[in-house]
Structure 1
Amino acid sequence: MALAPPLRASLADIFGAALSTDPAECLVYGYDNSRRQAAPDAVVFPQTHEQVVALVRTCRAARTPLVARGRGTNTTGATVPVAGGVVASFERMNRVLRLDPANRLAVVEPGVLNGDLQTALKPLGFFWAPDPTSSPYCSIGGNLACNSAGPRTVKYGAPRENTLGLRAVAGSGEEFRAGYYTSKGATGYDLTRLLIGAEGTLALITEATLKLTPLPAAKRVLRATYSGIEAAAAAVSRIMAQPVTPCALEFLDDEALRLARRHGGEAIPVAGAMLLIEVDGEADFLPAAEQSVARAAAGEGLLEWRSAANAAEVDSLWAARKALSPALRSIAPMKINEDVVVPVSRLPQLIAGLKQISEKYKIPIVNFGHAGNGNIHVNLLYRPEDPAQAAAAPGCLAAVFDLVLALDGTLSGEHGIGLVKREFLPRALDPVSLELMRRIKAQFDPDGILNPGKLLPD
C-alpha cells in the first residue's frame, strides 16, 4: 500500500533524498536472516537524533507503523515489517562519538558495526564484551535490540551488563536519556536495561554509552573431545563449578561435528561431542587456569585434551565452530534455529531430551552453542518438501520448548522473540507478567506504531 501523500511529503521534508518508496529498494529492507519477508511502504535513512524524533512524531500523527532496522542479521523476523509502513534503517547513523578509556566507556550511534567498534578499541587496549558470530556485519543497535551476545558472554556478560546508558525516542515521540556515564547508579527505574532486548517495540535508540573492558594480556585455547554428548554436557557443569571462569565454552554434538568435518576438513575431530574452551588473563596465570579447567573436563567419556601451542593451532581448534554454520546452511537452508537456555546443571538432561525428541519426530536435530551459560542453538533440519517432516516440525519445535521450560530454562538467549516465537511466549511467562509488559508497551508507545506484531503475543 502506497504512502498517503501528506505522509510522503512530511518524510521528504525530514529526509530529502534519504527517503525511498521504490518497490525494489523497499523489498530489500523487508527481510532479515529469518527468511521471513514483507514489503514496507517506505524506507528512510536517519543520520541524526533530531531526524529520528521528527520521524517518530510524524509516523505517530499518521498512525503509520515504524520498524527500526540494523543490518538484518536477526533470525526471528524481528525487523520484518509485517504491517507495512516505514522502515528506518540506521546504517548511515554510524559514528563513534567518543572513546574514553580513562572512564572505560564509548559513546556510539546505533549503526556502528560491532566489528568496527572492536577494531577502534583494540589499539586502546579495550573491547566491548558482546561478540556475536555476526560481529563483522551486525550493528550495535541490533545487538542492543535483542540483547545479542556471543561466546564471551559466559565471563563478560551480554549487552545488558555492558551498557551504561542510552538516548532514545519513545513511540509517543518523546525523547529521553536513560542510564549513566558511571559504572554505578541507583536513581529510579532502570530504563536502559528495559530498552535492551525490547526489539524496538518501546523506543528507537539513537545513542549508546557502552561499558568497556580491558583486553586480557594472554589467552589460551583448549579442546576436549568426548565419546558421547551426555559426557560432554556433564563436563560443562563441572567446568563451570570450578573457580576459573572460561571466556568461552562452546559445545558441539556428534551431528554438528560430522557436518562441520564434511565442510571444514579433517582438522575437525571424529567424536561423540566436543568442547571448545578459552581462558584468558595474565600470562603467568594461564598454566594454572588450564590445569583447573582440565581437571574439571576429565572424567568418564573424555577422549582427548588439546591445548593450542600457537596461532595456527588456535585456528585449527576453532575450525569446527567456524565451519558449522556454512555446513548447516548448505544442507538445510530452511532449518529452524532456536537459541534456548537452561541452567548449566540441567544441560545433560537437555541434550538427552533433544536426542529423544529427534528420534520421536524423525527430524534431525543438531546442537551447538554457548554451553558455559547454558545457551544451546538447537537446529531442526527439516525439509519443507518432505510432507511427513513438514507436518512433524511444529510439534517437534513445541516439544523442544516444553522440554526447555520443564528444565527451568527460557526460550531465547540472544536471538530474541521477534515474529517466529511470540506465540510461545505465554508458555514462558505468567499472565500477570505479560499484562505488565503490555502496559509498559502502551506507556512508551500509546498508538502501537513501533514494530507491531513482534515480541508480545496478541
Structure 2
Amino acid sequence: MSPSLPAPLISALQRLLGEHGLLLDASERVAYGYDNSRRQALPDAVALPTTRDQVLELVRLCRSHRVAITARGRGTNTTGASVPVHGGLVVSFERMNRLLAIRPGDRVAVVEPGLLNGDLQQALQAHGLFWPPDPTSAPYCTVGGNLACNAGGPRAVKYGATRDNVLALTAVTGQGELVSFGAATTKGATGYDLSRLLIGSEGTLALIVEATLKLTPIAPHRRALRALYRDVDSAAAAVARLMAQAVTPSMLEFMDGECVRLAREVGGADLPTAGALLMIEADGDEAVLAAAERALRQAADGDGCLAIDAAPDEATREKLWAARKALSPALRTIAPGKINEDVVVPVSRIPDLVAGVGVIAKARQTKIVCFGHAGNGNLHVNLLFDPAEADQAARAEAALAEVFATVIALGGQLSGEHGIGLAKRDFLPLAIDAATLAAMRAIKHAFDPDGLLNPGKILPD
C-alpha cells in the first residue's frame, strides 16, 4: 500500500473503483510513471475508472484531501506531460475506451478518451470516413492523449490538427464539476468556445471523459510524388512555393539529407542519395487528380531540384511512408542522446528556419537532423549527442535555446503538436508575454482553483 496517500482516501477510492480499479503496489505503479520523454516519477496510486461518474467522484475525493491528479492515456507523448512529478494519483483512461456512437449522417463519432486512435480509424473505414489527426503513434496512442496535446500528423496540412476536428467535449474540472462544451454541429455561435481551450491544455484544466469528433470522408484516390533536392535550402524554398499555389497537398513532408540516408539504410526505402527530399501527396476524385499533380509538380520544380518521381504503386508509397515514420527511432543509430523538438513557423519562413538551424549546428558543433510536416511549417528538429559526454550535452542544450530563439524571431511557436509539458515549460516566457501568461494562470485558477490537475506542467513557476 502507498504510504503517501491518506488511508481514508485510499479506502474511499477502493470502494469507488472496485477490487482491481486502484493500483497501490510499486511494481504496478512504475509503469504509469514515465512517458516517451524518458522522464519518470512514481505516482502514489493509479486509478482505472470505467465511467464518468467514477472520474467525477475521484476528483472530488482528491480535492478534499489536496492530492495531485495526473491524467494519462498511453504515455506516448515526448514532453513529460503525463509524468506525475508531484506524485499523487495517476488517472489512466485505458478502461474508458468505448466507441459510443458513429453517426455518418452527421459525420461525427462520440468516443471515450481511452479509445486508441488506430481502433477508431479502423471502425470508421466501414463508413468511408476517417478522423484526420494521425500522429506517428496513431496505432497505440489514445484519442484523449491526442486531445490533450492537440496532436497533428502529416494530414494536418489539408485537414487540420485535433483542435480543428472536435465539435464537443464533456469533462470534469479540478473543482469536481461535470461540464459540457460545444455540440454535434459544424457551426455554432453560442458563448465561449471552451472546447478549443481544453484541447492542448495537457490535462491541466479538466479531465476529458467524452468527445464528439468531426469526421471526414475518405478520399477515393491518392497520388504521391517524391521530389529530390540538391540541399535543404532548395527543398525549403520549394515548400514555400507549394503552399503558395492553389492546390493544397494532402501531405507535404520534409526530410534533410541525413534523414534520406536513414530512410534508405534503416527504413528500407528505395531512395538515391540527395541533400533533401519532399514527400508530396494529393487526394480526391480521379477527375481532378491529374490537374492537381501537374500543379504540385510545377511548384516543386525549381533551382536545386534533382528529380520528381511519382510512386508507381501503393506498395512503394506505403514503404516510403513507413520509412518516414521510422525516422525518429532510427536517429538513435547516430547518437544515443536525442532532443526532439517540434517547432513551427509560418510556412514562408521555413527556408529561414532551415538556414538558421544549419548555422546553429555548425557554431555549436552539434549534429542536428530535421524532418517533419513542412506544409504546416512544423519541423522536428533533432539535436543528437552522447549524454555520457558532458561537453556534448552542454552544447546540445545551448543549441536548443538558440533554436527556440530563432523560431520565436521568425514568428513561430515552441510546439506544433507535441505540447509543452515539462520539456519546454521554462522556455514559455520567450514565446508568451507576461500579461498573456497571467491570463493563462487566471484560466487555470478558474478551472482548477487548488492547482491539483497535472501540476508543474505548461506554466512556468
2:326 is paired with a residue whose SS is helix
1:295 to 293, 298, 309: 298
Q: TM-score, normalised by structure 2?
A: 0.98
Aligned to 2:150: 147
1:383 to 383, 386, 392: 386
- 2:269–2:319: 8 Å Cα contact kept in structure 1? no
Aligned to 1:255: 258
The code of the aligned residue for 1:332 comes to A
Residue 3 of structure 2 is aligned to residue 6 of structure 1: no
For residues 268 and 322 of structure 1, do their structure 2 counterparts lie closer, same or farther at Cα, with a shift above 3 Å needed?
Answer: farther
2:252 is paired with a residue whose SS is strand
Moved over 4 A (4+): none
Residue 441 of structure 2 is aligned to residue 441 of structure 1: no
The code of the aligned residue for 1:242 comes to Q
Aligned to 1:274: 277
Aligned to 1:183: 186
1:381 is paired with a residue whose SS is strand
Residue 57 of structure 2 is aligned to residue 54 of structure 1: yes
Work out the CA distance in 1 between the residues paired with 2:441 and 2:325: 39
Pairing 1:35-54 to 2, within 5 Å after superposition: 35-54=38-57
Work out the CA distance in 2 between the residues paired with 1:317 and 1:42: 43
- 2:253–2:375: 8 Å Cα contact kept in structure 1? yes
Query: Residues 403-446 of structure 1: CA distance to partner in whole angstroms, max 9, x if unpaired?
Result: 00000000000000001100000000010100000000001001
CA shift for structure 1 position 332? 3.4
Work out the CA distance in 2 between the residues paired with 1:131 and 1:333: 27
Work out the CA distance in 2 between the residues paired with 1:438 and 1:318: 40
Work out the CA distance in 2 between the residues paired with 1:48 and 1:349: 49
Aligned to 1:338: 341
Residue 236 of structure 2 is aligned to residue 233 of structure 1: yes
The code of the aligned residue for 1:15 comes to L
Aligned to 2:418: 415
Work out the CA distance in 2 between the residues paired with 1:41 and 1:400: 37
- 2:226–2:277: 8 Å Cα contact kept in structure 1? yes
- 2:353–2:406: 8 Å Cα contact kept in structure 1? yes
- 2:336–2:385: 8 Å Cα contact kept in structure 1? no
Work out the CA distance in 2 between the residues paired with 1:266 and 1:99: 37
Residue 326 of structure 2 is aligned to residue 328 of structure 1: no
Query: Residues 24-73 of structure 1: CA distance to partner in whole angstroms, max 9, x if unpaired?
Result: 11111000000000000000111100000001101101100000000000
- 1:267–1:319: 8 Å Cα contact kept in structure 2? no
CA shift for structure 1 position 325? 2.2
Residue 209 of structure 2 is aligned to residue 206 of structure 1: yes
Aligned to 2:17: 15
State the superposition RMSD in angstroms. Answer: 1.0
CA shift for structure 1 position 318? 2.5
The code of the aligned residue for 2:148 comes to A
Q: TM-score, normalised by structure 1?
A: 0.98
CA shift for structure 1 position 313? 2.1
- 1:26–1:39: 8 Å Cα contact kept in structure 2? yes
CA shift for structure 1 position 253? 0.5
Work out the CA distance in 1 between the residues paired with 2:262 and 2:433: 39
Work out the CA distance in 2 between the residues paired with 1:75 and 1:269: 31
Work out the CA distance in 2 between the residues paired with 1:103 and 1:57: 35
Work out the CA distance in 2 between the residues paired with 1:201 and 1:419: 12
Work out the CA distance in 2 between the residues paired with 1:125 and 1:409: 36
Query: Residues 312-356 of structure 1: CA distance to partner in whole angstroms, max 9, x if unpaired?
Result: 221343354133123113443430000000000000010011011
Aligned to 1:453: 456
* Farther off after superposition, 268-277 or 257-266: 257-266
CA shift for structure 1 position 182? 0.6
The code of the aligned residue for 2:83 comes to V
1:168 is paired with a residue whose SS is strand
CA shift for structure 1 position 257? 1.4
- 1:168–1:207: 8 Å Cα contact kept in structure 2? yes
- 1:67–1:86: 8 Å Cα contact kept in structure 2? yes
2:173 to 156, 170, 176: 170
Aligned to 1:400: 403
1:61 is paired with a residue whose SS is helix
CA shift for structure 1 position 113? 0.4
For residues 281 and 266 of structure 1, do their structure 2 counterparts lie closer, same or farther at Cα, with a shift above 3 Å needed?
Answer: closer
Work out the CA distance in 2 between the residues paired with 1:331 and 1:8: 47
- 1:219–1:281: 8 Å Cα contact kept in structure 2? yes
Aligned to 1:120: 123
Residue 139 of structure 2 is aligned to residue 136 of structure 1: yes
- 1:308–1:317: 8 Å Cα contact kept in structure 2? no
Aligned to 1:220: 223
Work out the CA distance in 2 between the residues paired with 1:333 and 1:73: 19
* Farther off after superposition, 316-325 or 213-222: 316-325
2:380 is paired with a residue whose SS is strand
The code of the aligned residue for 2:428 comes to L
CA shift for structure 1 position 266? 6.1
* Farther off after superposition, 434-443 or 10-19: 10-19
Unaligned runs of 5+ in 2: none
The code of the aligned residue for 1:451 comes to N
Q: How many residue pairs are counted as aligned between the two chains? A: 458
Residue 203 of structure 2 is aligned to residue 197 of structure 1: no
- 1:221–1:317: 8 Å Cα contact kept in structure 2? no
1:93 is paired with a residue whose SS is coil
CA shift for structure 1 position 382? 1.2
1:205 is paired with a residue whose SS is strand
CA shift for structure 1 position 259? 2.5
Work out the CA distance in 2 between the residues paired with 1:63 and 1:35: 28
